[in-house]
Chain A
Amino acid sequence: MANLSLKGVGKTYGGAQQAAVTGIDLDIADGEFIVLVGPSGCGKSSLLRMIAGLETISTGEVAIGGRVVNRLDPAERDIAMVFQNYALYPHMSVRDNMAYGLKNRRTPKAEIAQRVEEAARMLELGPYLDRKPRALSGGQRQRVAMGRAIVRQPAAFLFDEPLSNLDARLRVTMRMEIRRLQKRLGTTSVYVTHDQLEAMTLADRLVVLNGGRIEQIGAPLEVYRRPASTFVASFIGAPAMSLVDAQIENGQLLLERYLLAHVGNAPGPVTLGLRAEELRIGPAGIPMRVEHVEELGAQRIVHGMIGAQRLSVADGSGAPLSETVLVSVDPARLNLFDTATGRRSELRLTAAQAPLPV
């Protein structure tokens, strides 16, 4: 159990012109569950592997529990890792798989046995202790991999897309199981995934990475509600936040010439971010041409166009839709981004906020 701190961590692979990861500053509190999320190639795995010691650190400093570990072997860093393909030793029984790391550390036999038993009970692996990984299902294998991490009682767990090889149903149950276990053990965890849903549901804090840099750090809801950039806006949440081009003229925020709000921001083109569930289909608003509808059961996602702008609206009414629907939004829930940089800029609504027809 320990806190983790990254200072200006960067990675440049041999021969590569560009750095894969640059200037990562991150402080992880003891017991915190951090999820690194981003599209493939964003450097999240490289970052995790640098923490683990499987990759050398090109620049910066990684400290685990206040001890700088840059030059330490993975085994000396007091971390445990769960891999995407489980990486179980195929020739060893479940018991031996879990005990291997402890044996190498010369833990007394009795203690090994006790810790393995405990982990097996926690993960409901008891009946499988003497089986080979080959004879287990994917979910069970993943649990063994987690057991191998747990028995070590490390300072931190590192998860490298551990659920990617499982089918959708199992992923959901394993997700909850991981969260429950982590809460119970209170071990600092860093979890890498490209699945934003997994990231949202697991994290105490999310770290959204893009192109080797941190786009945003924050609690899942904060990241969801107030994305720091258009990248985060489009990456986090399903359906993705609709990003549309809008104009500010004379203190008016205009979407395709329709007035959305009175604002105090500087005039010019802006990018607006609209969450599907914050848009409402109603008797008044901006007309949207319906293109197609995704039925999800509890609600449906209506995809359509306002002028040349594509928009998605979540609708739970189930009422029949006409070809054109009227869409409205609470101005306070609008996300404003600088069109040029993609960074968030705060929307300043002016007092003259007569309840707009929008």
Chain B
Amino acid sequence: MQKIKPFDHLVLILGSLFLCLPVVLALMSSTHGAVDIHSNGLYLTPGTEGWETYKKVLTHRGGFTGDVTGLLMLGNSLVMGLGFAVGKIVLSMMAAYALVYFRFRFATILFWMIFFTLLLPLEVRIMPSYQVMADLHLLNTYTGLILPLLASATGTFFFRQFFRSVPDELLEAARIDGAGPVKFFLDVLVPLSRTMMAAIFIIMFIYGWNQYLWPLLMTTDESFYTLMRGIKSILQVWVGSQIPDYNEAFALAVLAMIPPVAVVVIFQRMFIKGLTESDK
């Protein structure tokens, strides 16, 4: 270990300041009025209108229909994030289980096909995906929002690698102990994968939470608005001499940050464990 010098601290402090400043700016600015922000720029000090702003953002009925509150958008985003994370974990675990433990033809080819889809981002297949969902009448539903994006090459790959590192004798011991494929999966593999699941959960939750393009396409009904769209729509009201509600946009942004941060904080220890060691 190298001895830590003051310069190292300086670098760290500057680095964290650099990373934290935008968050602090957003938080502080959200407590000022829109007019103040418009005329004076961003604030580094707390203002006085924070309470009202957040209350308004959460409960004010906006949008064309006048039904969309911040709370609703927060809920929608949560559904997206949780649905993504849970769905992706379940699906990719099962896919990886099949790939690793069942001897079927073309398993390797199938795996590489799944793996290659990693190279194709959502944007490439967004039109066909939309078409399929439209044909299935799944536009403007949570199912349509979540289902098409559930297949996860990343998740499948991670779980495949993990399952391959589980010693074969464990499977054999379970077979002798009378555990069938389903029992082995549920009783042995799932508990062993806990840390892996936590790691994937964080990644996928944030991925789902941050989705913008897909909800934009899939939903026209305002009751399915997510936070990301909410922020955008606040800033879009640039009509005539109207000043956008910067404070509200900032407040929403701050709110949008809380759940991912919470997820990371809660799962952090398991996350690190999952990426570095396995519980074997």
Residues of A within 8 A of B (CB): 52-54, 73-75, 79-81, 83-91, 100-101, 104-105, 148
Contact = CB atoms under 8 A, between A and B. Distances in A.
B167 interface: yes
Chain B, interface size: which category? Answer: 10 to 19
Contacts of A74: 172, 175-176
Contact of A101 (B167, B177, B194): B177
Contact of B178 (A83, A84, A87, A104): A104
Contacts of B174: 89, 100
Contact of B169 (A83, A91, A100): A83
A89 B187 CA distance: 9
A74 B179 CA distance: 10
The 9 A-B residue pairs with the shortest CB-CB distance, nearest first, are A101-B177, A87-B169, A75-B178, A104-B178, A87-B173, A91-B191, A83-B169, A74-B176, A74-B175
Given A85-B167, A104-B183, A90 B176 contact: no
A80 B188 contact: no
B178 A105 contact: yes
A90 B279 contact: yes
B132 interface: no
Contacts of A101: 176-178
Tell me if B's interface is mostly helix, strand, loop or mixed: helix
Nearest to A86: B169
A83 B188 CA distance: 17
B79 interface: no
Contacts of B279: 90-91
Nearest to B177: A101
B170 interface: yes
Nearest to A104: B178
Contact of B179 (A53, A54, A104): A104
A87 B179 contact: no
A139 B29 CA distance: 63
Given A87-B167, A89-B188, A91-B191, A104 B177 contact: yes
B280 interface: yes
Tell me if A's interface is mostly helix, strand, loop or mixed: loop
Interface of B: 167, 169-170, 172-179, 183, 187-188, 191-192, 194, 279-280
Contacts of B173: 81, 83, 87-89, 148
A199 to B, nearest CB: 22
6 contacts: A74-B175, A80-B176, A86-B169, A89-B188, A91-B194, A104-B183
B162 to A, nearest CB: 13
A79 B194 CA distance: 31
B172 A90 contact: no
B192 to A, nearest CB: 6
Contact of B176 (A75, A86, A91): A75
A45 to B, nearest CB: 12
A252 B175 CA distance: 60
A52 B176 contact: yes
A81 B183 contact: no
Contacts of B167: 85, 87
A128 to B, nearest CB: 19
Nearest to B190: A91
Nearest to B170: A87
Contacts of A54: 172, 175-176
B169 A90 contact: no
A148 B183 CA distance: 18
Q: Which of A74, A87, A88 has the most CB of B within 10 A?
A: A87
Contacts of B188: 89, 91
A235 B48 CA distance: 89
Contacts of A148: 173, 177
A55 B187 CA distance: 23
A79 B176 contact: yes
A166 B255 CA distance: 56
Contacts of A79: 176
Contacts of A87: 167, 169-170, 172-173
A90 B178 contact: no
B108 to A, nearest CB: 15
A85 B171 CA distance: 13
B192 A91 contact: yes
Contacts of A83: 169, 172-173
B171 to A, nearest CB: 9
A75 B173 CA distance: 10
Contacts of A91: 188, 191-192, 194, 279
A100 B179 contact: yes
B175 A90 contact: no
Contacts of B280: 90
Contacts of A53: 175-176
A87 B174 CA distance: 9
